[in-house]
Structure 1
Amino acid sequence: MSYSFGKNFKVTLFGQSHSSEIGLVIDGIEAGYKINRDLIAKNLNRRRPGKNEFSTPRKEEDSYEIVSGEVDDITCGAPLCAIIKNKDQRSKDYENLRDVPRPSHADYPAYVKFDSHNDIRGGGQFSGRMTAPLVIGGSIAEDLLMKRGIKIYSRIKSIGYAEDCEINLEDINEENFYDLKEQVFPVIDPSSREKMETEILKAKEEGDSIGGIVETFILSMPVGIGEPFFDSLESVISHAVFSVPGIRGIEFGSGFEAAKMLGSNHNDPYYYEDNKIKTRTNNHGGMIGGLSSGMPIVFRTAVKPTSSIAKLQDTVSLKNKSNTKLKIVGRHDPSIVPRALVAIEMVTAIALLDLVMEGEK
């Protein structure tokens, strides 16, 4: 089994939701890179639980420690290892789940795969908690991408049926995104935020949860990044994004709407502007043939409703081999979308940097 991703910028995760520590090892950072601790702290805080009524009450400071691979915040060429100590676990909340698996969680298939030895506490290695160390690796990747002029932004496009404003794919301007990373609930049109928050609070009051869509924009990507077929730009981004717990789908550019279009409408005509080749439309979402085209990369990610809800649900008793009911206790997000957004950005940065480094060989 593997908890690693990437070839040139390789990230390996370790730990479980309720283990004493979680962390990651990064291979591929050249010696002499000054670690941007401010960016790591900022992104960890964006993802951190327990900040508001829209996230789980579990309070983790997510303070981290780099234990190898650097000297005085300068990388030394050895693998970089960072850890985060878990401090607010309530493992007793999960004892009954060894027998009664939670609907739409990994409990049952993990029970079978690991011959009943799976760590049930907080979801073990399948938990969204594991995205915290990913943020450390993603922040380093994001910093290295920004040094190359490449920037990543994301916004909550929708929560349930409440939607943010539409953006023309061919008219994407960084000015639209200037404060997204400063917002707790990142949207472009501030008037849409209240509608989305209302959707979340309504689901929470009913003992339920709700999903949504995250839209991600990658700006100033050089032309030709990606490898044909199995390591195409879409393939690598999708592989990384689907590693974030709770992801149900991804689409690029015009996405599934392309199935309704004629080729004459979907094709993006080329033109010159300021001695650069651009396209008048961007249905391809910045990627053609698995390679970056130089246009902004745009993709949308569907995030499912949080599986742990307060409502009584049908399940089974593995011990008695019978049907039963389950009332989940513990602390859970009524919507994981705001925190998943940060994880999506971070794994995207890791995927992009890995491909950019491949192209620089």
Structure 2
Amino acid sequence: MTVTINGSRLDPNAEVKLTKEGEESITAYLLTGSADGTRLMARFDLIGNKSGSWDLVISNPGNGSDTEPFDVIEGGEAKLAMSFAGPSTIREGRGAMFTVILKNEGLVDLGPVIVNMTPESVEKTRAGSYAHSGNPPYSCSKCSSQSSEQTTPPLFFSPIMIDSVPAGEETLIPISVIAIPSPSEDCWLVTAEVRYSLSEEMIRQEECEKLQKYWVELGKLIEKYQSMYTQVQTVWITTADTSAIFAGQDGHTYRFYSIARDNVGNIESAPETPDAETTVTVTAIQEGIAVSPNPFVPTRGHTQISFFGAGLPYSKIKIYNKAAELVRTLEETEGKTRLDWDATSDDGKKLASGVYIWVSTDQAGKHQKGKFAIIR
């Protein structure tokens, strides 16, 4: 059960517990707080404890305590509702943002929750046609006829783990899908998928529920057509040097032709094929620090957990289990934006299944934190 506490001067290091006369106190095992001290979220394990009237006690370090009445009602269940919103089309080589909206309409906290968008092998059906006006006009209706051909689309998506969806609350999850070019397919089906379990220790794969499906239409031929007819031949450089630096634009394809000119002014004819061709692709570095794969599942072939991002260089990362015990300390010492870890503790033991919290500290003393899951 997760309890949200609103107020002022709420310390993230406070002790939050439930007390009842004649019963053993229940201390929150996971506590998170807002930076301005106006909100605390405390998670309790109520398994095996009695229902009825309890007292919620918040004790700030060195700043007194407060007690509020709290009723524990027996029974109830988690009930996950999901809506999925996003664009109807994605063009080849481009990304699109989707939003997954998770809402727990039940009386019991749901967690952890893993949201994944996976490609499916699907039967192509009529999906309309593309049209482009230009010189010459062009249209693509490759997907307009019935076909029983099966295909698996090459889409990239990293699962997102939500530690919990508290009862009665809603969580918005922005996700990004990138459509990778395919030599033969234009119409693909994408499935939004949620796996969840009421157990903190294991996310059972059999509790997987496919909730909503969308067509993703990729205008592969249009992209190639537009690229072909928008190129303009211009002189880049006149030089006797054998090398030079060219600054291109992200997402543009450039073809290079070398034309020789002698001392008396004779100029070689332009060749039919380019000497070189390149597409400029700028890979953005993740801001802050991210973790992948999440969850870490060795049975799927995962061998290491990677921390990466612009906030990683020269950072120290401490990893805690759900009991707030430090299990591993990692340190990036070479100024790199990626750090790989074999999911073992400081004493070399494999970490057990569960939810873990990481806290990083960079050279300037700035902190970042996040969560990941291990499923063995």
| TM-score interval, normalised by the smaller of the two chains | under 0.3
Higher strand share: 2
Which structure has the larger Rg?
2
Higher relative contact order (CA 8 A, sep 6+): 1
Alignment TM-score, normalising by the size of structure 1: 0.22
TM-score, structure 2 as length reference: 0.22
Greater share of residues in helix: 1
